[in-house]
């Protein structure tokens, strides 16, 4: 028969309530997992066990803290005993009652016979926390050198860099939406495609490049000079992904892939048309190619 909670010490009663709540959650976890269906059962179980462990640790720390608070007068009397006060275990006990001598060290009001321009030097050791930290760095350095350079069990910076670059390369999308991968389209030459490209150009491109592609804010598209390549796949890439640094918007998501190819093909069909008021050449010159050969 369980002891009523009201007859238990309240820290233990609190721990019992929390643990009983964890047991109830453990019983309900399979049903909840079955309802969701989309969650990984093992992952859900892992997080449940981890949260339960953290909860138990918090309860344990809380109980210890409450016991220390309750027993602080007795612990102080033990700490003040001459046989305990100056021992290492006594200093650990001092931390529990508020004496940080173990970490801070003892301050000696003893002056050395050194005198530098009126500045006197005290005979004080380095704080223990500083010395412990320094010792820890020495241990870390020895372990690091042994693990990476002597045993060669771990990868060095160069190997880690090469591995991360290889992983990054695997994450690059291989499809047509990858801006680093050039497409392999051919120029469309049918009158229907060029007519559709002309309509799309007049609606979306003419405000910046001019009605005859002579160039306004954007460059002239009828000469042999190109800023980002004049082959159909380079033009397709420029239209699809844009050049935000130069004000060229990306038409991906606004035009379909076929529409972008139609516009690209129409632009290339204007090569050598020499419209009036054409903008001066920009970019690098590329050899002229007929639409039929593209």
In 3-state terms the chain splits into helix, strand, coil percentages (rounded to 5) of 60, 5, 35
Q: What one-character-per-residue DSSP string does 138-202 give?
A: HHHHHHHIIIIIIS--S--HHHHHHHHHHHHHHHS--STT-TTS--------SHHHHHHHHHHHH
If one compares 7 and 70, the residue with the highest pLDDT of the two is 70
Higher pLDDT, 155 or 122: 155
Residue 255's alpha-carbon distances to 24, 194, 196, 212, 238, in angstroms, are 55, 15, 12, 21, 13
Q: Which residues pair with 209 in a beta bridge?
A: none
Total count of residues recorded for the chain: 294
Please count the CA atoms within 13 angstroms of the CA of 170 that sit on its side-chain side: 6
Where do the DSSP E strands lie in the chain? Answer: 111-116, 119-122, 225-226, 284-285
pLDDT higher for 73 or 104? 73
Q: Residues 2-37, buried b or exposed e (16+ Cβ, 10 A)?
A: eeeeeeeeebeebbeeeeeebeeeeeeeeeebeeee
Banded model confidence at residue 146, pLDDT cuts 50, 70, 90: very high
Q: Which residues contact 220 (CB under 8 A, 6 or more apart)?
A: 209, 210, 213, 214, 278, 279, 280, 281, 282
At which residue do the structure tokens 């109830």 appear? 24
The first and second tokens of residue 170, run together, are 């695997």
Q: Counting Cβ atoms within 10 Å, is residue 50 exposed (0-12), middle (13-18) or buried (19+)?
A: exposed
- Beta strand 225-226 with 111-116: parallel, antiparallel or unpaired? unpaired
Q: pLDDT confidence of 19, banded at 50, 70, 90? A: low
| Confidence tier at 6 by pLDDT (50, 70, 90) | very low
pTM (2 d.p.): 0.42
Q: Choose between 88 and 63: higher pLDDT.
A: 63
288's CB contacts (< 8 A; 6+ apart) are 224, 271, 272
Q: Which two tokens stand for residue 22?
A: 């964890």
Least confident piece of the model among 20-24, 135-139, 169-173: 20-24
């Amino acid at each position: 028969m369980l002891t009523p909670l009201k007859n238990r010490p309240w820290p233990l009663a609190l721990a019992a309530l929390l643990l009983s709540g964890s047991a109830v959650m453990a019983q309900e976890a399979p049903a909840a997992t079955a309802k969701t269906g989309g969650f990984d059962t093992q992952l859900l179980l892992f997080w449940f066990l981890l949260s339960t462990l953290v909860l138990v640790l918090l309860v344990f720390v809380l109980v210890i803290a409450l016991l220390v608070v309750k027993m602080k007068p007795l612990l102080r009397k033990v700490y003040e005993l001459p046989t305990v006060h100056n021992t290492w275990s006594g200093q650990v006990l001092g931390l529990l009652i508020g004496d940080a001598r173990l970490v801070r060290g003892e301050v000696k009001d003893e002056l050395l016979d050194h005198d530098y321009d009126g500045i006197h030097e005290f005979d004080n050791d380095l704080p223990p926390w500083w010395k412990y930290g320094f010792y820890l760095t020495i241990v870390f350095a020895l372990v690091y050198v042994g693990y990476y350079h002597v045993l060669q069990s771990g990868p060095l910076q160069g190997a880690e860099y090469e591995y991360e670059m290889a992983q990054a390369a695997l994450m690059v999308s291989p499809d047509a939406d990858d801006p680093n991968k050039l497409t392999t389209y051919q120029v469309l030459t049918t009158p229907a495609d060029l007519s559709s490209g002309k309509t799309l150009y007049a609606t979306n491109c003419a405000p910046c490049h001019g009605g005859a592609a002579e160039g306004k804010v954007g460059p002239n598209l009828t000469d042999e000079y190109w800023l980002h390549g004049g082959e159909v796949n380079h033009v397709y890439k420029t239209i699809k992904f844009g050049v935000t640094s130069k004000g060229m918007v990306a038409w991906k998501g606004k035009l379909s892939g076929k529409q972008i190819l139609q516009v690209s093909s129409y632009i290339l069909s204007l090569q050598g048309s020499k419209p009036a008021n054409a903008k001066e050449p920009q970019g690098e010159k590329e050899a002229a190619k007929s639409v039929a050969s593209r």
